[in-house]
């Protein structure tokens, strides 16, 4: 069997990563709109933040496409993204401008996705061996 059926938990991972991609895409659109429609306090900072979020969107899209194609590098990419996303969520819970309304959901999704990435069926489906067998 060249392309064995992927386990349901694999599709759960794809769904979680797609949810994260959609959220990052919405943030990118809001930042782009604000960059054009509002006057930022620091234009350089606003442009840099927008570019970083657009890069994150591209990264997540590439990871999802690679995952669907069975490329082995995607698991490492998704793990790195979860660590970065966890740091963003944790930062959202701290300081004088804390935003727990969106910090907690980021943390929860990040931890859940990180855990799914280490489930044995997902590890097997993302090692690249399944596509070569």
Distances (CA, A) of 102 to 48, 59, 72, 86, 119: 22, 21, 31, 12, 26
| Overall average pLDDT of the 116-124 stretch | 94
What confidence score (pLDDT) does residue 2 get? 53
In DSSP notation, 21-34 reads HHHHHHHHHHHHHH
Buried b (16+ CB within 10 A) or exposed e, 61-92: eebbebbeebbeebbebbeebbeebbeebeeb
Q: Give 36-72 pLDDT, tens digit per residue.
A: 998 888 999 999 999 999 999 999 999 999 999 989 8
Mean pLDDT (the chain) is 91
Tokens 């490329």, residue?
Answer: 71
Prediction pTM value = 0.86
What confidence score (pLDDT) does residue 4 get? 65
């Amino acid at each position: 069997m060249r392309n064995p059926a992927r386990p349901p938990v694999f599709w759960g991972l794809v769904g979680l990563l797609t949810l994260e991609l959609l959220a990052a895409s919405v943030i990118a659109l809001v930042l782009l709109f604000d960059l054009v429609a509002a006057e930022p306090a620091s234009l350089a900072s606003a442009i840099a933040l927008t570019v970083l979020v657009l890069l994150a969107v591209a990264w997540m899209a590439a990871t999802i496409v690679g995952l669907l194609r069975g490329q082995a590098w995607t698991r490492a990419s998704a793990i790195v993204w979860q660590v970065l996303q966890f740091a963003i969520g944790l930062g959202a819970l701290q300081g004088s401008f804390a935003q727990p309304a969106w910090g907690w959901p980021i943390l929860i999704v990040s931890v859940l996705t990180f855990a799914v990435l280490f489930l044995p069926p997902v590890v097997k489906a993302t090692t690249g061996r399944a596509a070569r067998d």
